[in-house]
Structure 1
Amino acid sequence: MPFSRLSPHSRVAKIHPPPVTIGKKMAEYDHDDRTQGWVLELDSLRSFGGPPSPPLSSDGRRWSGEILPAGSVSRQVLAHQQQTDAIITTTTRRQPSQPLPGAAECLDFIKTRKGRFKPAKQTKLRNSLLGAIGFLEAANAGDFAANIWNETPVPTYALIMMAIGGTMALGMIYFCIKDGRLSYQNLRALKEERGYLKEQRKLHQDDSNMVRTIDCFLDMNTRESGTELIDRIGSDALLGFSALIVGIGTFMAMDGDHDSANYKASNLLTGYIGNTLPAIFGVCNLLWSSYVWVRAKEQQRAALNYVKGSTRISQMLRNRTSSIQVHAALNGLTGIVAGSAALATATQWWAYVILLPCIITSGTVNIFWRKRVGYERPFVLGQISSIDQDTVFEALRYANECHRRVLRVEATGESDAFTILVPDTTSLLCALDVIRKNNLFEDYCLRVLEDKELSGRLFGHAVFDTQSSADGPTIDWHNLAALDDQVLMIRLLKIAKDLLNGRSGVWKIEEDDDDNGTNS
């Protein structure tokens, strides 16, 4: 999750105190750029009603070419080793003193029944939408044969098609339940975050900057909660139950020759009863998608006015909001057309012709969300600091420069992501610092725990053993970075290298999005 989405509703300190309505969708632009996307969201949220853009730096850009934020461990190491290196060129802007909220640095893990480890508590919003959910419309069309050949006796080929359609419809229930559980986990964690933010807002009522920052995150939280509740849980519940009814009705239709009661019941289930729920979801989804589209439009207008003068940032903001609008438009229109067509399928065969492009578009929208619009971000559940404009631009510059530097070097084949991002490739401290800043610490810990030999040796150290409980291990970033066991350090460095290099493909995808997203 290196430079993937930070979160589409993060707002920054320079926003009007009341929650802004143009939030998080910005971050959704790059599903695989969690850091850059989140910062874009922060910037666009803060810009809604914010002050005009600050002057450009002396070189005519919003930020210089340096890659590392001031005050970071990596920056300190580099400054000590190569003070003249271009990577640590000093910018003319005041360096930010407050870091953006990041992932937890001390994580507890528990062992699952399958013997794998997972975090004891969810610390980040996950982009966990299942690809199979994009084919829910296809599942609800599983009654095709039952409605078209609504006659007795039922032809053999129609019976075969009914069996396939009914099985497909009932099979989708598994994915609906699984996706609903994943979405509920996000929603539950978002509720906890919202409670914490409201408490903090009461405690900082006299600090206008802090109130604005908290309002940004509350606004982001609201948008994320709505997405989980309507786009995911609503879809899983209504379309999933519809698939269940349609599947049962289709199988009952197969026995219509021998039982008139089954024949009549199947007509009801595969008719208006089974297809009413998709229509209800289509209306709700259209309303929500319209809200998201308008929100993104306002967000784009305010953000582009706010960063006026910075071509690169303007392009990134425009790409982000354009992607959000494209997704919202396709999602809303597909849902309402598919819902209407589903109702018509009860009596009209031609409705399935209309339903076919909706099925294709639904799958495309699902992929678009998972690969370009969706995002992951750490929850704000610990200390929170007010975020100013410099903080946002610094983090955005850092994420942007990191992935561009990786792409340039890998294009020539001269190096890899680990070598480019870590200033001292022999230092575990520097490697862990890059991992921490890019919200990869949880991924890193899971890789460490998967290596039984390494984790066994690691937790043989008193500092880790005493922290852990009977329920599972605890890994603290600071203790890990302070290790002086050379053998362990080499093993841990290798895992860090594999993790960062494994993400290089993600940055390639994201770069393509940045270059082409303007016309999205």
Structure 2
Amino acid sequence: MELATPDIASLGDSSVTTRLQDQEPVRADASRGTEKQSEAATDTTLPVPSSPIYAPTQADLTKYRRRWIPRISSRLRNTLLSTMGLLELANAGDFAANVWNEIPVPIYAIVFMALGGTLALVVSILALKDTLLSWQNVCFLRNERAALKAERLERLQRSLPTLDADVLLDTNFRELGSEIANRFGLDICSGFGAFLISIGTYMAIGGANRQAWFASNILSGYLGNAPIALYGLISSGWSAYIFRRASQHRRLAAQSPRLQSSRAVKAIERRTRNVHIYTLVSAVSSVIGGGASMVTATRWEGYVVLIPVILSSMFYNSWLRRNVAYDRPPAGDPLHLTENAITHELEVAEMTWRKIRGQSRPLREVVADATSLEAVTTYLVANDLLEHFCLSLMKSAVIAPVLVSQESTDVTIDAKRLLEMPKEIHLTMIEIANETIKQKGPKHFEYRQRYLAEIMGSTLRLSLKAGYGGSMTEC
């Protein structure tokens, strides 16, 4: 069956506009929402649903060193440093210390020791920086999890369905576990190991001193490599779990009769393929790298095994940043989480992503009335682009002084505040909105597809487990 390509230029509907004006979420009837979504799937347009998923109605900004930035822990962010792909290389920085473990130390060995020790030290410092960035995500996910658990408990006390809250908790569990197992814990263990290795390698330069030689062997040998080996087992175990769960999501999506004519299936398949590549490569690399690092303490042959491990770690770090990880806002009101709503949002995200790439005027492609600030703002809020838009506005010498006072250090901006701006600068704001979508839109909607695919997978699995036959519309 050939899929029609809906026109997405009418993405702003009156229900969303009303929600923005009231600043209160519309609690639409579930059965009516099901009908509207079913009709939308066959219509020539895909209007924004009355209850957008992951669409914050305000942006919280703070001033940092004369620049406006998003408030810390306001959302999950893909902030993994590219240099973290060098962790395995840094942990091989003791190569010279272990291979030329002799007295007196040759001059060429001293040079290699200095280079290896410096590399390990620099990467350990960068690992500390990445640990702090990861901790922001951990805090965000923990706070979100606590709120979802409180929501679920309240529903149980009121004898209300909890399936949609369970879906968000299930997705949050995978996100939190991956952030800890594949990043936060990796940064701590590998970064600490790299630091010990750097100290041990530097001490090996003074190998003529018996005590320095002994301490060097301990630090750059088993003690420095033990955290890496131990963590390799933990990380590979978690990767195996994520691999299995992604496979289950793909299978359920392929079996769902509701998704057979939907683009959502392709998005889930693409998501599963990317997750499989990352988890498979990282799991195998972690196990082999952990074992090889322990061998290097006494035998130089271990470094030969580490060569493909180092290359693969660079690959899966890049793959994680470019094809797996994503930014997303808080989930919002889970009462609107239905299979039809998720499918609709996933389709809109996929179509918008394809439509705006390479466009010089993408705003005209996605908003019916691209000259109306109200229509533009409605679209930006419904598609979680408000924060990007507000950050762009704060960079404008024309808009920023009108939007916020010079003395302010924190600001909360919503649609109502934007629409109250003087009419003479509305066109400037619309131009900034167009530039925001042009620069940030493609990556933003790519991220949106990723986390909505995760939500859809959890929806299919838990609704089937709860006996809803793969649909949450009965809740």
Under a length normalisation based on structure 1, what TM-score does the superposition of the two structures give? 0.75
**Structure 1 residue 155 and structure 2 residue 106: aligned?**
yes
Give, in whole Å, the separation in 1 of the partners of 2:121 and 2:411: 40
* Mapping for residues 90-489 of structure 1, pairs under 5 Å: 91-92=41-42, 98-112=50-64, 114-205=65-156, 210-257=161-208, 259-307=209-257, 309-310=260-261, 312-380=263-331, 382-407=332-357, 410=358, 416-459=361-404, 471-483=409-421, 485-489=422-426
Give, in whole Å, the separation in 2 of the partners of 1:256 and 1:137: 25
1:290 is displaced (CA, Å) by 0.9
Give, in whole Å, the separation in 2 of the partners of 1:147 and 1:419: 63
CA contact 2:243–2:280 (8 Å) conserved in 1: yes
Q: Which residue of 2 aligns with 1:66?
A: 7
SS at structure 1 position matched to 2:410: coil
Report Cα offsets for 1:407-442 as digits up to 9, x if no partner.
4xx4xx7x5322312322222222222322221211
Equivalenced residues, count: 425
SS at structure 1 position matched to 2:62: strand
CA contact 2:350–2:446 (8 Å) conserved in 1: no
When structure 1 is superposed on structure 2, of 469-478 and 425-434 the one drifting more is 469-478
Q: Which residue of 2 aligns with 1:497?
A: 434
Give, in whole Å, the separation in 1 of the partners of 2:327 and 2:444: 15
CA contact 2:278–2:319 (8 Å) conserved in 1: yes
Give, in whole Å, the separation in 2 of the partners of 1:75 and 1:386: 14
1:489 is displaced (CA, Å) by 1.3
Change (3 A) 1:311 1:111: closer
SS at structure 2 position matched to 1:322: helix
Structure 2 letter corresponding to 1:488:
I
Report Cα offsets for 1:165-211 as digits up to 9, x if no partner.
00010111221111111111111111111111111112223888851
Give, in whole Å, the separation in 2 of the partners of 1:171 and 1:118: 27
Report Cα offsets for 1:235-274 as digits up to 9, x if no partner.
01110110010000000001112x1111111111111111
Change (3 A) 1:211 1:70: farther
Change (3 A) 1:505 1:64: closer
Report Cα offsets for 1:97-123 as digits up to 9, x if no partner.
6523324222332222x2222233532
Q: Which residue of 2 aligns with 1:516?
A: none
Change (3 A) 1:219 1:508: closer
Give, in whole Å, the separation in 1 of the partners of 2:412 and 2:348: 29
Change (3 A) 1:180 1:137: same
Change (3 A) 1:450 1:437: same
1:404 is displaced (CA, Å) by 2.2
Structure 2 letter corresponding to 1:445:
C
Change (3 A) 1:298 1:509: closer
CA contact 1:162–1:251 (8 Å) conserved in 2: yes
Structure 2 letter corresponding to 1:313:
A
When structure 1 is superposed on structure 2, of 292-301 and 133-142 the one drifting more is 292-301
Structure 1 letter corresponding to 2:434:
K
CA contact 1:68–1:75 (8 Å) conserved in 2: no
1:324 is displaced (CA, Å) by 0.9
* Mapping for residues 37-56 of structure 1, pairs under 5 Å: none
Where does structure 1 lack aligned partners over 5 or more consecutive residues? Answer: 1-59, 77-88, 514-520
Give, in whole Å, the separation in 1 of the partners of 2:390 and 2:230: 43
Change (3 A) 1:386 1:494: closer
Report Cα offsets for 1:278-325 as digits up to 9, x if no partner.
100111011111111111111111121115532743332222112111
Report Cα offsets for 1:377-407 as digits up to 9, x if no partner.
1113x54323222212221221122122234
Structure 2 letter corresponding to 1:101:
I
Change (3 A) 1:188 1:64: same
Report Cα offsets for 1:323-380 as digits up to 9, x if no partner.
1111111111111111111000111111111101111110110111111011121113
Under a length normalisation based on structure 2, what TM-score does the superposition of the two structures give? 0.82
Give, in whole Å, the separation in 1 of the partners of 2:42 and 2:369: 26
SS at structure 2 position matched to 1:304: helix
CA contact 2:9–2:367 (8 Å) conserved in 1: no
Deviating beyond 3 angstroms after TM superposition, the runs of 4 or more aligned structure 1 residues are 60-64, 68-71, 73-76, 89-98, 206-210, 503-510
CA contact 1:250–1:270 (8 Å) conserved in 2: yes
Identity of aligned residues (%): 32
SS at structure 2 position matched to 1:430: helix
CA contact 2:12–2:375 (8 Å) conserved in 1: no
Structure 2 letter corresponding to 1:111:
K
1:69 is displaced (CA, Å) by 7.3
CA contact 1:235–1:281 (8 Å) conserved in 2: yes
Change (3 A) 1:295 1:383: closer
Give, in whole Å, the separation in 2 of the partners of 1:210 and 1:403: 34
Report Cα offsets for 1:472-519 as digits up to 9, x if no partner.
222122221343x23321221222121111136648989xx9xxxxxx
When structure 1 is superposed on structure 2, of 62-71 and 234-243 the one drifting more is 62-71
Structure 1 letter corresponding to 2:8:
I
Report Cα offsets for 1:142-178 as digits up to 9, x if no partner.
0011111111121211111111100010111221111
1:453 is displaced (CA, Å) by 4.1
Change (3 A) 1:185 1:304: same
SS at structure 1 position matched to 2:59: strand
